[in-house]
Structure 1
Amino acid sequence: MALKGRGILLENLTLDGALIINSTDGAEVKVGGSIKNKGWLIERIDYKDTAFPEELKIQVFRIEKKEQLE
């Protein structure tokens, strides 16, 4: 879950996956209910694996964004 901005209210939220909420100034965002999606997969990367670029090998992991609700 990633929340950005003000005025975000979560009420009885059940989350199984990924949710991104971006609120603008002066807005009121209410989110509730059940959200289910494939989410994001965090995968460990072996620094010796040549299949990945250097910038990912330095981080030791990568995030594969399968599915999300925005």
Structure 2
Amino acid sequence: MSADRPLGLTNYPEMMTAQQVGEYLQVSSASLAQDRYRGDGIPFVKIGKRVRYRRSDVANYLEDNTFQQTIGHGRLR
């Protein structure tokens, strides 16, 4: 899978808002904010006070966190 192609991600702009990422991942903006606070989750960019996510970072995060099983290292790669 290409870095920008998972499941319709190309329908979103190159720089996505937390609301757009949340909509795509079906999680709340608050969950994304908690991930940022904890230093977990998808890499983000600060533009002034605004938070943005690169579409490619979202795709890479999904690729890096895709598993076939919950035990061990069942990554899909």
Q: TM-score range by the shorter chain?
A: under 0.3
Q: Which has the higher helix share?
A: 2
Relative to the length of structure 2, the TM-score reads 0.23
Larger fraction in strand: 1
Which has the higher Rg, Structure 1 or Structure 2? 1
Q: TM-score, normalised by structure 1?
A: 0.24
